Amino acid sequence: MQSLKLAHTSLNRRRRTLERSLVAQRERAVEDAKFRARQAQGKLRRFVQINFRKEEVAADLELRRGDCNRCGACCEILFKCPFLKKHADGSSTCGIYEDRPNQCRLFPINKRDIQEVRGTCSYYFIER
Ligand code: SF4
């Protein structure tokens, strides 16, 4: 009887651990989906800004400071760009650097863009 009780307690403990793990997994999946949605929105926003709101882009870029650390994170927003080349030292280069689109050339345009690369961008923005 005692051993049955112990087995039941052990099963309950395992079930609770599994449930917690599933909840954590689901939360990570939701966070990841939200992050990807933000990235998709950002790609679209930058496309519109760069092509139709050039003055706004110029004003935003005046507030940008810092330099590119060549982490390549902006080349992997939503998907990995086929022209991105990763090196053993952790840096990256662009296979079409001289001819890269303006969306790549001007990244990041503002603070919101930096939130799309999980904190690896070395640029920052000052307040107006
Ligand atoms: S994420 Fe920022 S620092 Fe990294 S490659 Fe892009 S512009 Fe440069």
Number of folded domains that form the chain: 1
Cβ of 115 below 6 Å from ligand 1: no
SS3 annotation, the chain: CHHHHHHHHHHHHHHHHHHHHHHHHHHHHHHHHHHHHHHHHHHHHHHHHHHHCHHHHHHHHCCEECCCCCCCHHHHCCCCCCCEEECCCCCEEECCHHHCCHHHHCCCCCHHHHCCCCCCCCCEECCC
pLDDT computed for residue 118 by the predictor: 85
pLDDT at 63: 98
What's the pLDDT score for residue 8? Answer: 87
Question: pLDDT under 50 in the chain at which residues?
Answer: none
Q: What count of other Cβ atoms lies within 10 Å of the Cβ of residue 63?
A: 14
Ligand 1 pocket: which of 68, 100, 102 to mutate (most atoms within 8 A of CB)? 68
Range of the domain at 55: 2-125
Looking at residue 97, its pLDDT comes to 96
Task: Decide: pTM greater than 0.75.
Answer: yes
Task: Report whether residue 74 contacts ligand 1, using a CB cutoff of 6 Å.
Answer: yes
Distance between CA 122 and CA 125 in Å, rounded? Answer: 10
**Distance in Å, CA 70 to ligand 1 centroid:** 5
